[in-house]
Amino acid sequence: MNKHRDRERGVSMEGAGIQEHLETGYVSAPLLSVAEAAKYLGVGRKILMQIIERGQITVVRSGGSTLVEKRSLDRFREQGTLT
């Protein structure tokens, strides 16, 4: 799994498309909660967490929360992995 930790902010970015984020240092808005992202993809939270663990979508973890980049969800849907 690809990881980048910004030690100054305590934020880690993981997942698909991470190379472009390392180059710019930013994750694009909007960011969704895990529950919102699961609903957006039409899957349960458990399935979404498995997708996150496999590094197939980009997430930002800060403290105890995980936020999912909507753009990475759109890319994941376009790949047709869930069909």
The confidence score (pLDDT) of residue 79 equals: 92
Cβ atoms of 27 and 69 within 8 Å: the answer is yes
> In which band, very low, low, confident or very high, does the pLDDT at 10 lie, cut at 50, 70 and 90?
very low
Q: How far is CA 73 from the centre of its chain?
A: 8
pTM of the predicted model as reported, rounded to 2 decimal places = 0.69
Cβ atoms of 22 and 16 within 8 Å: the answer is no
- Which tens digits make up the pLDDT trace of 16-65? 544 444 445 677 889 999 999 999 999 999 999 999 999 999 999 988 99
The confidence score (pLDDT) of residue 13 equals: 53
Cβ atoms of 39 and 29 within 8 Å: the answer is no
The confidence score (pLDDT) of residue 72 equals: 94
For 3-10, the CB contacts below 8 A with 24+ separation are: 9/62, 10/62, 10/63
